[in-house]
A and B are shown apart, each in its own frame.
Chain A
Amino acid sequence: MADVPMVNIKINGIALQAPQGEKVIEAARRINVDIPFFCYHPRLTMENGANCRMCLVEVATPRKNPDGSVVMAKMPKPQTACSLPVSEGMEVWTETEQVIADRRGVLEFLLINHPLDCPICDRGGECPLQNNTIHYGPPTSRFIEEKRHFPKAYPLSEYVVFDRERCIHCARCTRFTQDISGDAQLDFLFRGADMEVGTFAHTRFSSRFSGNVIELCPVGALLSRTYRFKARPWDLMTQKSICTQCSNGCNIKIDHRVSQLQRVNARVNEAVNEEWTCDRGKFGMDYVSSPDRITTPLVKRDGEFQPVTWDEINTLIIDRLQEAGAKVGGIGGTRSSNEDLYVWQKFFRQTLRVNNLDHRMGPHFRPTNSGLYARFGYHSMNNAIADLEKMKTILVFGSNLVDEQPIIYLRVRKAWRAKGAGIVEAVPRSMKTGEEANHVGEFASVRLYYRPGTEVALLHGLLNVMLYENLLSAERLGEIKNLSIVQNAVKSWAPEIAAKECGVEADAIRRAARLLATDQMAILAGETVTQHPYSEDILNALGNLAILTGNPGNINVPVTENNQQGAMDMGILPDVLPGYVGLDQPGLNTKQMLQGAVSGEIEALWISGVDLVNRFYDRDLARRALEACSFVVVTEHTLTETAQLADVVLPTQSVAERDGTFTNVERRVQRFFKAFEISPEIHPEWLIFSQLAMRMGGTAPYFSARDILREIAASVPIYQACTPRDLGDQGVRWHYPAANHTADLVGVEYRAPAAVSA
Chain B
Amino acid sequence: MSEQAGYVPVVGAVAEPQPAPEKSYRFSEQAIQELEEILTHYPDKKSAILPALWIAQREYDGYLPPQAIQEVADRLERPFVEVEGVATFYTMYNLRKRGRHHLEVCTCLTCAVMGAYEVVHHLEKRLGVKVGQTTSDGEFTLSEVECLNYCGAATVVQVGDKYFGNITKENVDELIETLRNSNEFTPADLANAIVRLHIPERTAKK
Contact = CB atoms under 8 A, between A and B. Distances in A.
Contact of A198 (B21, B69, B81, B89): B81
A50 interface: no
A203 B17 contact: yes
Interface string A547-561: 000000000000000
A188 interface: yes
B79 interface: yes
A154 B16 CA distance: 6
A204 interface: yes
Contacts of B11: 150-151, 164, 196
A194 B19 CA distance: 24
B181 interface: no
A187 B85 CA distance: 7
A290 to B, nearest CB: 26
Contact of B88 (A189, A202, A435): A189
B204 to A, nearest CB: 29
Contact of A203 (B7, B15, B19, B89): B19
Contacts of A185: 79, 81
A584 to B, nearest CB: 59
B81 to A, nearest CB: 4
Contacts of B84: 187, 189, 198, 200-201
Nearest to A148: B11
A201 B20 contact: yes
Contact of A201 (B12, B18, B89): B18
Which of B7, B12, B14, B20 has the most A CB atoms < 10 Å from its CB? B20
B9 interface: yes
B89 A184 contact: no
B81 A190 contact: no
Interface in B57-87: 66, 69-70, 79-82, 84-85
Contacts of A189: 9, 81, 84-85, 88-89
A203 B18 contact: yes
Which of B15, B21, B80 has the most A CB atoms < 10 Å from its CB? B80
Given A187-B84, A190-B88, A203 B79 contact: no
B16 A155 contact: yes
A199 to B, nearest CB: 6
B79 A184 contact: yes
A256 B19 CA distance: 36
B81 A186 contact: yes
B15 to A, nearest CB: 7
A236 to B, nearest CB: 29
Interface string A187-216: 111110010101111111100000000000
A51 to B, nearest CB: 14
Contact of B82 (A149, A164, A187): A187
A433 to B, nearest CB: 15
A200 B18 contact: no
A497 B79 CA distance: 36
Contacts of A203: 17-20
Which of B7, B16, B81 has the most A CB atoms < 10 Å from its CB? B81
Contacts of B70: 200
Nearest to B73: A200
Interface string A678-692: 000000000000000
A430 to B, nearest CB: 22
B66 to A, nearest CB: 4
Interface string A321-347: 000000000000000000000000000
B91 to A, nearest CB: 9
A157 B19 CA distance: 12
A156 interface: yes
Contacts of A202: 9, 14, 17-18
A201 B82 contact: no
Contacts of A204: 17-18
Contacts of A156: 17
A479 B25 CA distance: 55
Which of B16, B69, B70 has the most A CB atoms < 10 Å from its CB? B16
Nearest to B9: A202
A151 B11 CA distance: 8
A46 to B, nearest CB: 17
Nearest to B21: A201
Nearest to A149: B12
Contact of A199 (B12, B19, B81): B81
Contacts of A435: 20
A150 B12 contact: yes
B85 A201 contact: no
A178 B82 CA distance: 10
Interface string A137-167: 0000000000001110011110000001000
A191 B17 contact: no
A180 to B, nearest CB: 14
A187 B89 contact: no
Nearest to B74: A435
Contacts of A187: 79, 81-82, 84-85
B96 to A, nearest CB: 13
B10 to A, nearest CB: 10
Contact of A151 (B15, B69, B85): B15
B69 A200 contact: yes
A164 B80 CA distance: 20
Given A184-B79, A184-B81, A187-B79, A200 B88 contact: no
Interface string A430-446: 00000100000000000
Contacts of A194: 7
B17 A184 contact: no
Nearest to B65: A201
A184 B82 contact: yes
Nearest to B4: A194
B89 A191 contact: yes
Contacts of B81: 184-187, 189, 198-200
Interface in B91-116: none
B17 A188 contact: no
B18 A188 contact: no
A151 B12 contact: yes
Contacts of B89: 188-191
A279 to B, nearest CB: 15
Nearest to A189: B88
B80 A155 contact: no
Contact of B85 (A150, A188, A205): A188
Interface of B: 7, 9, 11-12, 14-21, 66, 69-70, 79-82, 84-85, 88-89
12 contacts: A150-B11, A151-B11, A185-B79, A188-B89, A190-B7, A191-B89, A196-B11, A198-B84, A202-B9, A202-B14, A203-B19, A204-B17
Given A151-B15, A200-B80, A204-B18, 19 more contacts: A150-B12, A157-B17, A178-B79, A184-B82, A185-B79, A186-B81, A190-B7, A191-B88, A196-B11, A198-B81, A199-B81, A200-B66, A200-B79, A200-B81, A201-B66, A201-B84, A202-B17, A203-B20, A435-B20
CB-based closest 5 A-B pairs:
A184-B79, A204-B17, A200-B80, A201-B66, A200-B81
Interface of A: 149-151, 154-157, 164, 178, 183-191, 194, 196, 198-205, 435
